[in-house]
Amino acid sequence: MRSVVLALYEGAMLFEAATAIEVFGVARGIADPWYDFTVCGPKAAWLGELARVATSDGFGPMARADTVIVPSCHDVAADPPADVVAALRAAHARGARIMSLCTGAFVLAAAGLLDGRRVTTHWGHAPELARRYPRVEVDADVLYVDDDPILTSAGKAACMDLSLHVVRTDHGAAAANTLARRLVVPPHRSGGQAQFIAAPSPATDSPLETVMRWALEQLHEPLTVEQLATRANMSSRNLARHFVATTGTTPLRWLHNQRLHRAQELLETTDLGIDMIATRTGMGTAATLRHHFNRTIGVAPDTYRRTFRA
């Protein structure tokens, strides 16, 4: 079981802390075992001037955690507490996975954990993070970045995106999708290559909703941008602009990511051979599927199936 510790400190924000608790601290029978979850912090610290931390253990539990979560801070201009900075440095040196939610990136940066890394935070605070920590590569255009073992996320909703990504990494796509349905949030799909960038499913008022849902039903076909544009009653250029605005990526890259996501689900939930999965996901051949799966997910399809097969 992965032990997860939520590090609460004076000035941490309630919403982001609650997101971590909902995802990692509530066992819903989705995967067994779930996470061994602990909240740590100083006695009676304020959370966003709304509530106090109900713990007196200090940051000792961080010394044993597999994953440490740092929620956003109320005042990015204030120096984070020295004891949480020291505990983060020790956890990182020990090899723990460390996640920051929203402006929690400022706490990680103060601890020196983000130097030389590509990270993200809330777009409104990204310029300040880049100014104060010039050795950090700040990308304000993505929802989250996984630069293992350091993970950073953008604003409040993106905290859920990153949390679901971690569940997907630890327990597989089926578990993450089930949890998303339980929490009544869209299932977020991983994208990118070395870094994983999530883009949400289209909102119901998005002009792309119909065409994206149609495309998901046609993944076995060799779809083109022109076909998507025709279906959306747009020019190819206009479609591309809407895709970048909605998903953060191009139509073809989005299609590619959906094919890989469907392959993950089929590997987890069926006995279909790799050739058949390649056909059903529009990858064409098993060799093509293996190439793209290994390049993006980081493991071969057969290895993924053995790891995450329900």
Integer Cα distance of 213 and 33 in angstroms: 33
In the chain, the largest separation of any two C-alpha atoms, in whole Å, equals 60
- In the Cβ-directed half-sphere of 158, how many Cα atoms lie within 13 Å? 29
DSSP 301: H
Beta bridge partners, 119, equal: 138
What's the distance, Cα to Cα, between the start and end of the chain in Å?
A: 17
Q: For residue 190, what pLDDT is reported?
A: 40
* pTM, entire model: 0.66
Beta bridge partners, 147, equal: 150
Q: For residue 255, what pLDDT is reported?
A: 92
CA dihedral over 164, 169, 170, 174, signed as positive or negative = positive
Q: For residue 201, what pLDDT is reported?
A: 47
Q: For residue 48, what pLDDT is reported?
A: 63
Q: What is the set of domains in the chain, with CATH numbers?
A: 3-183 (3.40.50.880), 209-308 (1.10.10.60)
Q: For residue 303, what pLDDT is reported?
A: 86
Integer Cα distance of 57 and 90 in angstroms: 17
Query: DSSP readout, 247-290?
Result: HSS-HHHHHHHHHHHHHHHHHHH----HHHHHHHTT--SHHHHH
Q: For residue 203, what pLDDT is reported?
A: 47
Task: Tell me the backbone φ, ψ of residue 137, rounded to 5 degrees.
Answer: -90, 105
Q: For residue 204, what pLDDT is reported?
A: 46
Q: For residue 238, what pLDDT is reported?
A: 92
Question: What's the average pLDDT block by block, 10 residues per block, for the chain (310 residues)?
Answer: 88 88 92 91 70 72 94 90 94 96 96 95 91 92 89 89 91 87 66 34 62 91 92 92 81 91 89 94 94 85 80
Q: For residue 89, what pLDDT is reported?
A: 97
